[in-house]
Chain A
């Protein structure tokens, strides 16, 4: 019963994930694309939930589904409706090359996973304890096994913050000089 429920939820989440991903690239109005991206991130969060990653799922909704996508929508709404002059309706030829490359990469990944599955390399069940995916376990992993990655990420964020300040102060000085 429980397994069947998991399967049903997985089916709908996976389907929503694919459908919203397709919608992101096929809408001509960027506002709708951004909304579809929110749907994509939300259905990914459901998939994380199925993998017992509660904290990761909530973080996904809070940070990506919430804060980051609000910024996307904010900018898109601020710039107004530019559907007719949008570079993505039509698009230069290098985008086609990029699309083919990305499609090929996904196809290769699918082939590898199917091959691994057929070869029996994936049928190694891991024990998932009660504390798996809990904030405590995640925090411990960040501060022990993955400390370097954790700290390097914080430096990347710091660089981004400093970059934002530099860009902002630069434009302000220019407008002051003009005035």
Chain B
């Protein structure tokens, strides 16, 4: 296979970043609309047809707000924290495959921004760096609520990261690769991994909900207890960056879930439809994102001790046993 030229990769990265941003913007719209419908309301319906221009209106509002900082804030860190979160959130999407690769006028275009042999670990590494945005933001604000919020975020993300990584181990063992492209290709020749790895999928979805601080695991910003958590002192577009990072993390996590368990861009049974990979990828992504929103509409928030007990005493053992059983079966079948 020929390698892709660098002058294709750079504009492609630009396009992918912007597509992800647009997807994020309309995820906020979708979330409000779905939440509204599930709670017997209309949801946004004033700005544009069906309220479709609400994300644009939000953006304009946030950008035009005054960007102030508390007097006691550590200014450089206070400003850099949302940037770190946003950067890692966007960067993680670069290794997720969304297409089979095409050849246009003799130039090869790969179906992902970059294809590195360790892509799965890269996503987890970026995720663990992304936590710094939350903890630095909370600390640099120099406010008790922010501080408590960032402590909670940190404890929750570190706890559930372990289960999340272990839940993926089963898929890695079955695919015998930590390269996401190879994981997708392996699923085309065998089963989609959500069938043999249904325990892994369940742990991944629960751990992923906690990892992206989505309800019912939105303890980091429990508004009844913490005002707004680590971003209490943020406003305007800096707050917007934090919010964007959270949504993009959710989208990346859904993309990772699609890749690992639902065979990414692949269309079942009809091989020639694979060239329209991005369409199937986005459809699967849309279904998963809607599931996350559905969870938010229907589940009450956990108490903090319940969250910790569930993470360490239920999710982690289940993920470990699943990984061990998968390892045993993989060796046995071989």
Contacts and interface: CB of A to CB of B under 8 A. Distances in A.
Given A62-B125, A77-B139, A135-B178, A70 B131 contact: yes
Interface string A32-58: 000100100000000000000011001
A55 B129 contact: no
B321 interface: no
Given A67-B158, A74-B151, A59 B121 contact: yes
Given A61-B128, A77-B135, A77-B147, A54 B154 contact: no
A89 interface: no
A66 B150 contact: no
A65 B125 CA distance: 9
A73 B135 contact: yes
A128 interface: no
B132 A73 contact: yes
B118 interface: yes
A134 B178 CA distance: 10
Interface in B115-170: 116-118, 121-122, 124-125, 127-129, 131-132, 135-136, 138-139, 147, 150-151, 154-155, 158, 161
A58 B161 contact: no
B135 A134 contact: no
Given A54-B116, A78-B151, A135-B178, A70 B121 contact: no
A16 to B, nearest CB: 16
Contact of A66 (B129, B136, B138): B129
Interface residues of B, number: 25
Interface residues of A, number: 20
Given A73-B135, A77-B150, A67 B116 contact: no
A170 B161 CA distance: 27
A62 B121 contact: yes
Given A54-B116, A77-B135, A135-B117, A61 B151 contact: no
Contacts of B151: 74, 77-78
Contacts of A62: 121, 124-125, 128
A61 B123 CA distance: 11
B128 A74 contact: no
B117 A134 contact: yes
Contacts of A78: 151
A151 to B, nearest CB: 17
A42 B221 CA distance: 29
A1 to B, nearest CB: 12
Contacts of B154: 70, 73-74
Contact of B129 (A59, A65, A135): A65
Given A66-B125, A67-B161, A74-B155, A55 B118 contact: yes
A70 B147 CA distance: 14
Interface centre among B125, B136, B151 (most CB of A within 10 A): B125
A23 to B, nearest CB: 14
Contacts of A65: 125, 128-129
Contacts of A66: 125, 127-129, 131
A116 B195 CA distance: 58
A77 B81 CA distance: 15
A72 B19 CA distance: 36
A61 B91 CA distance: 14
Contacts of B161: 67
Contacts of B158: 67, 70-71
Contacts of A71: 158
Contacts of A35: 77, 136
Interface in B36-93: 77
Interface in A59-86: 59, 61-62, 65-67, 70-71, 73-74, 77-78
Nearest to A60: B125
A140 to B, nearest CB: 13
Nearest to B127: A66
Contacts of A31: 139
Contact of B118 (A58, A67, A73, A77): A58
Interface of A: 31, 35, 38, 54-55, 58-59, 61-62, 65-67, 70-71, 73-74, 77-78, 134-135
23 contacts: A35-B77, A54-B118, A55-B118, A58-B122, A59-B121, A61-B125, A61-B128, A61-B129, A62-B121, A62-B124, A62-B125, A67-B158, A70-B154, A71-B158, A73-B132, A73-B136, A74-B151, A74-B155, A77-B138, A77-B139, A77-B150, A135-B117, A135-B178
Instruction: For the complex of A and B, list the 10 residue pairs with the smallest distance between their C-beta atoms, beginning with the closest.
Output: A66-B128, A62-B125, A61-B125, A58-B121, A77-B139, A58-B125, A58-B118, A74-B154, A54-B118, A73-B135
